[in-house]
Amino acid sequence: MTIPQQIADTIVDPKAYAEGKPVDDAFSFLRKEMPLAQATPEGYDPFWVVTKHADILEVERQNDLFHNGDRAATLVPKDVDQKVREMMGGSPHLVRSLVQMDNPDHMAYRRITQGAFLPQNLRKLEDRIREIARGFIDRMAAKGDTCDFARDVAFLYPLHVIMEVLGVPEVDEPRMLKLTQELFGSADPELNRLGAEVKDPAAGLAAVAETVGEFITYFNEMTEDRRRKPREDLASLIANATIDGQPLDHFAAMSYYIIAATAGHDTTSNTTAGGLWAIAERPDQFKRLKADPSLIPSFLEETIRWVTPVKHFMRTATADAEVHGQKIAKGDWMMLCYPSGNRDEDVFADPFDFKIDRSPNKHVAFGYGAHVCLGQHLGRMEMRVLWEELLPRLESVELNGTPKLMQANFVCGPKSVPIRFKMH
């Protein structure tokens, strides 16, 4: 079964994600008519499109059967894949982080920082995170009655938290934000390194490689510093970690920093911005949430489902398999479509309604199984603390213009959420 060309082209098109509705409509069609079928968009190798919640979980729980690292772990066109392999000595990966690893490497590298991200160890950070949240809310209040919530608060608050955890000085935060947006927004002319529409894939890839290179230069210096003078931070953990008695492979260590410094805030930023956008459009839900703070945890999970900042990951079959009655051949590439899983009518009643009291809410936004998001507990804590501090002070909020979504098919969310508000 081959997906109609228009649908296949839509689900890989960064502009379609920036519009939102075309992608929602495409996935709705696929869930109903072709829940697991092959797509052959122009310029890409064929891949299976996994759109149902249950099928995403089935693939994610079988890590030996469906690998992350055998091919690109995110969707890339054929010519870009070829150029990456030329640049990287045959490897399909510009970076090799936990996302691009399979066992035994994945578990060994994950263990390095896993303890730092456990809920019991994060609790000691909560007071400091609350202090940071209050500072950003004060800055928002100082703007008067309008601001761009995405740019003025949602981008900067999680960035500050993760940079403090990582050990990056505050003066370098704008640089880290810029590099993150260049990496994840490489198809967005407002955010990418070229500052223009990417018409030539080779130029686009070269720009991303430059961004990765700048990250590596930065974290090389940090590694040397933390080996000389270790501190109580994540950078020291990575710089001084060993596997089987040996220091980390340099490329994997640099990749570790990059994933912490990018995914460690960008996904939380997207979700936070999307959460405020949702309640700014729904005054009744905003009032309910203000009146009953016990709804914050369910509101938070609903914002994560609603935004689903990570749009996909790719997996490669290591042997012949069967999913949803379809025969998957060894070497086949599979696209796990998280926004589709999080709108699956078989799991979520009225999936296109935003419900602050949705329960249960078994979204797949953090992934599942061995590759479940390492920073999920920190992200949840940051968002919970922000809403606990912001909602009591926020008298009213409404949109003050049209929000805009980022152009990207991998990680994306709102890039602008203009609001008008009143604060206590």
Lowest-confidence segment of 74-78, 198-202, 254-258, 362-366 by average pLDDT? 198-202
- Non-local (6+) Cβ contacts of 187 within 8 A are 14, 198, 204, 407, 408, 409
Tell me the average pLDDT across 161-169.
Answer: 96
Share above pLDDT 90 across residues of the chain, in percent, rounded to a whole number: 97
Report in angstroms the alpha-carbon separations of 359 from 228, 291, 420: 50, 19, 30
Q: What is the layout of strands, in order, in the sheet containing 333-337?
A: 36-39, 47-50, 333-337, 312-317, 66-67
Report in angstroms the alpha-carbon separations of 134 from 44, 157, 238, 287, 367: 46, 10, 30, 21, 30
pLDDT at residue 286 greater than cutoff 90:
yes
Identity of the amino acid at 303: T
Report in angstroms the alpha-carbon separations of 234 from 199, 265, 381, 383: 38, 14, 18, 20
Report the length, in residues, of the chain. Answer: 424
Start-to-end Cα distance in the chain: 57
Neighbours of 120 (CB within 10 A): 8
**Interior angle at CA 185, CA 180 and CA 188, nearest 5:** 145
pLDDT at residue 57 greater than cutoff 90:
yes
pLDDT at residue 2 greater than cutoff 90:
yes
Amino acid 271: pLDDT: 98
For residue 211, count CB atoms less than 10 angstroms from its CB and return exposed for 0-12, middle for 13-18, buried for 19 or more. buried
Rounded Cα gap, residues 392 and 296, in angstroms: 12
Rounded Cα gap, residues 410 and 391, in angstroms: 31
Q: What are 311-338's pLDDT values in tens digits? A: 999 999 999 999 999 999 999 999 999 9
Tell me the average pLDDT across 35-40.
Answer: 98
Question: Tokens at residue 53, please?
Answer: 């919640």
Tell me the average pLDDT across 152-163.
Answer: 96
Contacts from 76-85 at CB under 8 Å and sequence distance 24+? 77/43, 77/44, 77/201, 78/43, 78/44, 78/45, 79/43, 79/201, 79/202, 80/201, 80/204, 80/205, 81/45, 83/201, 83/202, 83/205, 84/205
User: What radius of gyration, in Å, describes the C-alpha atoms of the chain?
Assistant: 21
Amino acid 202: pLDDT: 86
The answer to whether residues 77 and 202 touch, using CB atoms and an 8 Å cutoff, is no
Centroid of chain to Cα 276: 18
Rounded Cα gap, residues 106 and 104, in angstroms: 6
Rounded Cα gap, residues 380 and 272, in angstroms: 10
Report in angstroms the alpha-carbon separations of 358 from 57, 85, 285, 353, 365: 20, 44, 12, 10, 15
Rounded Cα gap, residues 294 and 306, in angstroms: 20
Tell me the average pLDDT across 352-377.
Answer: 97
Nearest partner of 409 among 188, 141, 96, 221, judged by Cα = 188
Q: What are 211-225's pLDDT values in tens digits? A: 999 999 999 999 999
Sign (positive or negative) of CA dihedral 185, 187, 190, 196: positive
Q: What are 77-102's pLDDT values in tens digits? A: 999 999 999 999 999 999 999 999 99
| Average pLDDT value for the chain | 96
